[in-house]
Every structure is written in structure tokens, then in C-alpha cells.
Amino acid sequence: MGVRLTTAEALVRFLAAQKIVDSKGKTVPLFGGVFAIFGHGNVAGLGPALHAHRNTLPTLRAHNEQAMALAAVAYAKTHARRRMMACTTSIGPGATNMVTAAAVAHVNRLPVLLLPGDVFADRRPDPVLQQIENFGDAAVSANDAFRPVSRYWDRITRPEQILVSAPAALRVLLDPADCGPAVICLPQDVQAEAFDCPPEFFAERVHRIRRPQPDIDELAQTAAALKAAKKPMILVGGGVKFSGAERVLGDFAVKHGIPTADTQAGKGALAWDHPANAGALGVTGTGAANALAAEADVVLAVGTRLADFPTASRTVFRNPNLKLIQLNVGAFDAAKHGAMPFVADAREGVKALDAKLGRWKAPDAWTAKAARETRAWSRVAAKAIAPQPGLPSDAAVLGVVNRVAMDHPHVMLCAAGGLPGELHKLWRAKDSASYHLEYGFSCMGYEIAGGLGAKLAAPEREVYVLVGDGSYLMMNSEIATSVALGAKLTIVVLDNRGFGCIARLQAATGGAPFNNRLSDDHPPVDFAVHALALGAEATKVDDLAGLEDALRAAKRAKTTQVIVIDTDAKHSTGEGGAWWDVAVPDAPRTRRHRQTYLNKRRAQRRGA
């Protein structure tokens, strides 16, 4: 005989029963909790169910639906996809506010369970408050907007359907290749309907992330390609962190004399001073990594989807005889750019490849060149972060933050604007968890919300959020949430009075200055006073020395700190980097820029 439960009660009991073996071999709850903002679409259904299980599945109150879902995404990323959170909202704008966060999770291959309320399944009171009516399809609701940005989507129209839908969502959330956001839409009447639920549905389950082993033939082809290489290179992607392959890959690179470069998601997998690490690759790359990439004849890309920034819009690899190998747990990514696919878990693939290569090493001259290029770049980077006259540059600010953070466990978190470019090439990452960039979707507004998620996932670390004034103004509400939850953040706001990064791009592509920066007569925004009003402790500093003093004081503080500093909007680090394909209009004003653009496009590699 089943247990009489509402749909909402059955789902919450199911989620609370899920466990996982973490990276240290410890069995822990799979879900760290549920972010909830209640409305008429979920307060009477999911609300009581969450209240009843608040001791085993904590409910956290946020201030913005997009922000809480972004925090959940950052939580999963900080846990390298081994733990996650769920988010519930009412119908209408509460639900659609989470669509952007779902896109962030989808692009970055991160697990988050979204539980938006939905309109009545029985349609008796239609149209209800906040209902979207499709004139030609009565089955459509606002939640259909999640379909293109979710890896699993369902709408529960009968209570018994949750018995199939919830485990199916878990399969996607835990699958190393298909991982991404799962959306289960919950009509408000169905949430409250009871049914006889089989007890085994909410029996405890302990999950483990599977590790697909390499195909024998693909392994042999990869080993043969590397053994024939004269100038091999490894590109480290975020999949290295998700697999826990950092040490194995670092040892492999040193043993076989192969220099490495990293994507934004992969940065930190090898410490900044690791002997094989040549730094960032691509548009935001180091001079060392980009110079090596230009000559490389074999590139082993590990756990990356090879987006346009690390590949410099397919121009960073210039050797006409290049062999590109994609070691990836997902066949979808392994086949990109016409690569030789090597489908496997990153750690298991590298271990198998190491055994296959035996004592083979890259030519000593190539390994030595990589070391020289890396040393030369270190000198360039040191100069880039040094103080200069006038307003400090972004690079100088992050240099101070980096220096202060290095003596204790930390997470540096950022997402959009000009800062990611400076961070990728200049930040010295200590370990895998210390560098947290959302650059797959480059979502402005992720920073503070993401900092909250990272702090909830790693309370033992200091979390430094670097955010421009533009992103701060887009989303800052979770400062109040961090204070309420006792999740201390140190937020550094770099104020260049607008969207400085895009203003520079506008000028570089021949555009007139327009609609990006605040005019000189626009009254300044007092970010410190604003942060104080949200409950944080805040100060504005006048220079880099004041910034360092404030950061050191922030380490001793118990609650969220906001430090504001004015920065130079026009300055960015010119050294390093590579071309980025941004289309330039074929118009009289931009003709010269258009011709330069077309010349660059001729260097693009063609491929799948």
C-alpha cells in the first residue's frame, strides 16, 4: 500500500532522500537546499512540504528569482557538479526570471533543478493571475520559455507523473555528458493533489558520478598522434575540474614535457606556478600560451567546448598541419572543430593515455621554449599589474586583491565586462576552486549572486567578488541575502561610470561613443551608501593603498564587506590576447575597420 501524499510532499521527500559520494569519499546530501521565493503558484503547495522537511532539506529565502538561481548555479560549480540546489518560484514573472539562470547553467554544463509553479492543469479558473495565453495553443504557459535552455523539461499534469519525472531529471543532473538544468513545471492545483505514493520512491539513494572509460581505438589514435608530435600542447578546460583530474593532468604534462594552456573554466586546475602552465589561451590569453599555440602541431584539448574566446575565433592555432584532439566526456563536444574525438572521463582518459605513452616525451627544445615564453610573460604580467599615475587600471586593482588573497584559502569570482580578460591573463590562481569565472554565458549580474552560492558551497574560504559598476547595478539584491544568511562576501566594486569594456569595443570597431558610459554631468552613484542600506559594511577608497588596507580589514570582518574604488575606463592590458570575431559594418564610417576585420577573417580555420 502506498503512502498518501500530495505531489509536492512526494517530490520534497524524494529530493531529501538523495545522497552522493563527494570527492573525498564522504556520503553527503545531494541537494544543499532549496532557494524559494513564494507566490500564489507555490506557497500553498510546495510551501508546506518544504516547511515539513526544513531540517533535512533547508529552505533559503532570496530576494530575486534570477539571482537565487544564479547562486544555485555557482553552488554547483564550486562543488564541481557533485552537489546542487533546487529553486522554486510562483508562476509568471517569478518563473521567467529564472530563464536567464537556466541558460547560464546550460551553457556551462552545470546542474540546477528548477521548480517553477504553473497554471492550473484542470484549467477551471483560466485565465489566472500572471497566466500567459497562447492564442493558438492552450497547452502553452510561460514555462515553455525554459524549453530551449534546459537539458530536461517536464510539466506534471497528474500526481503520479512525478514518480517518472523526478528520477529522469536526476539522471540529467548527474550525467557527466548531459549535465545541465532540469525543469519540472508544477501546476498549482497538481502540487496540492494527493495520491498513493510507493514508499520506495523516497527511500535513500546514494549516487556516484560515472566515469566513462576511453575507447581502445580512440586511445590508440590519440597516443600515436602525440608520439609523432614535435610541438604538442594541452588545453585545460572546465571538464578537468569536474572530473577531479587536476593532479593527474599536471603530472602527465610534466612527465611528458608538454606545455599547457587554459580556458576561463579550466584556469586554476594547474596552479599559476605549475612548471607546465603557460597560462591563458586566446582572446584573453597570455603571450606565452598564444605563441606556443601558433606553432603547436598537436593540441590535446581536455574538457572544453572550444568556444570562440580560447580559440580566438578559430585563429589561435596556426600550424597548417595541426592535429586537434578533443578528450571530452561528451561526444557532442569531442567532435567540434573537426577534431579527432577521444571520448572519456578526463581523469580516466589522461591516465590511460599516460600508460600508452610510456616514457615518451616531447622534444626538449619545445619544452624549454615553453619555459622561456612563460618566464617572459611573467615579467610582462608583473608590469601590467603595477600601479600607474592617475586612476588605477582594472589590472592594478586585481593585482592588489590577488596579493592579499594569496595567503589564505579563497574563491575569486567574476563574470562579465572587462575584468574577465584581465583576470584570465593576469590572476595567479592557487588551486582549482580559487578561480571562479562565469564566462560561458558571460552573464552580467552573476557576480554577487554567484558569490553567495560559492560561499554557501565553501564556507571555509574567503569569497572575493570582483564586479564592475554596470553589473552591480544590474543585480545587487543578494547582498541583503548574504547578510541575512551570515554568508560573508568581500565585494570589490570597480567604478568606471558605465560599460567601459563595451565602450572600448565600440571604439575598436569604428563606432562613435554612444550609450555606454555616463556623461560627466551625471551625478555619481554612491555604491558604498547603497551597500550599507542593504546591510553590508561598506567603504569607498581613494587609491590602491587604501584598497589594500580595506581588504586586510575585510578579512577580519564577520559580515559582508563592499569596497568601492574608481578605475580608469579607457585602460586595458594590451599585451597578450588575440583577435576576436566581432562583425564590423560595411559602411563609409567604418570602412577601414571593416577591411582589417576581413583580413583577420582570412586566418580562421575551417572545420565542424
Here the CATH number for the domain that contains residue 335 is: 3.40.50.1220
Assigned domain for 595 exists: no
Mean pLDDT, residues 444-453: 98
523, pLDDT greater than 90: no
Tell me what pLDDT residue 500 has.
82
Assigned domain for 93 exists: yes
Tell me what pLDDT residue 17 has.
98
DSSP per residue over 95-130, as a string? HHTTHHHHHHHHHHT---EEEEEE--SS-TTPSPTT
Is 294 found in the same domain as 397? no
Is 200 found in the same domain as 240? no
| Residue given cell 530563464 in the structure block | 99
Mapping DSSP to helix (H, G, I), strand (E, B) and coil, where does residue 279 land?
Answer: strand
User: Last residue of a domain, which of 207, 239, 265?
Assistant: 207
Tell me what pLDDT residue 608 has.
56
Tell me what pLDDT residue 120 has.
95
Q: Tens digits of per-residue pLDDT, 467-483?
A: 999 999 999 999 999 99
Mean pLDDT, residues 183-210: 96
Residues 6+ apart with CB under 8 A from 25: none
Which DSSP state fits 344?
A: S
Assigned domain for 584 exists: no
Mean pLDDT, residues 81-92: 97
337, pLDDT greater than 70: yes
Q: Tens digits of per-residue pLDDT, 340-363?
A: 999 999 999 999 999 999 999 999
286, pLDDT greater than 90: yes
Is 285 found in the same domain as 240? yes
Sign of CA dihedral 454, 456, 461, 466: positive
Report the chain's terminal Cα–Cα distance, integer Å: 55
Is 390 found in the same domain as 372? no
Tell me what pLDDT residue 255 has.
98
The reported pTM is 0.97
Q: Tens digits of per-residue pLDDT, 222-240?
A: 999 999 999 999 999 999 9
Q: How confident is the model at residue 504 (pLDDT cuts 50, 70, 90)?
A: confident
Is 227 found in the same domain as 102? no
- Provide, rounded to the nearest whole percent, the portion of the chain with pLDDT above 70: 100
Is 334 found in the same domain as 223? yes
Q: How many domains does the structure of the chain reveal? A: 3
Mean pLDDT, residues 569-576: 90
517, pLDDT greater than 90: no
Better-scored residue on pLDDT, 516 or 184: 184
Distance CA 356, CA 221 (A): 11
CB 580 within 8 A of CB 420: no
Q: How confident is the model at residue 1 (pLDDT cuts 50, 70, 90)?
A: confident
Distance CA 38, CA 577 (A): 46
Is 224 found in the same domain as 345? yes
CATH of the domain at 88: 3.40.50.970
Assigned domain for 599 exists: no
Phi, then psi, of 92 in degrees rounded to 5:
70, -130
CA-based max dimension of the chain: 77
Better-scored residue on pLDDT, 606 or 140: 140
Tell me what pLDDT residue 24 has.
86
Q: Tens digits of per-residue pLDDT, 254-270?
A: 999 999 999 999 999 99
Tell me what pLDDT residue 242 has.
97
Better-scored residue on pLDDT, 542 or 517: 542
User: Last residue of a domain, which of 348, 378, 408?
Assistant: 378
Is 323 found in the same domain as 181? no
Is 200 found in the same domain as 233? no
Q: How confident is the model at residue 518 (pLDDT cuts 50, 70, 90)?
A: confident
User: Last residue of a domain, which of 378, 400, 423?
Assistant: 378
Is 309 found in the same domain as 197? no
Assigned domain for 605 exists: no
DSSP per residue over 232-269, as a string? EEEEE-HHHHHHT-HHHHHHHHHHTT--EEE-TTTTTS
- Give the amino acid at 437: L
Supply the mean pLDDT for the chain: 96
Mean pLDDT, residues 113-136: 94
Assigned domain for 533 exists: yes
Is 222 found in the same domain as 203? no
Mean pLDDT, residues 499-528: 86
Assigned domain for 53 exists: yes
Residues 6+ apart with CB under 8 A from 154: 161, 165, 168, 169, 183, 184, 185
All cell numbers assigned to 598: 576581413
Tell me what pLDDT residue 607 has.
66
Is 353 found in the same domain as 244? yes
CB 108 within 8 A of CB 86: no
All cell numbers assigned to 547: 584598497
Q: Tens digits of per-residue pLDDT, 377-421?
A: 999 999 999 998 999 999 999 999 999 999 999 999 999 999 999
β-strand pairing of 182-187 with 152-155? parallel
All cell numbers assigned to 504: 572600448
Query: What range does the domain containing 242 cover?
Result: 216-378
Assigned domain for 589 exists: no
Mean pLDDT, residues 189-214: 96
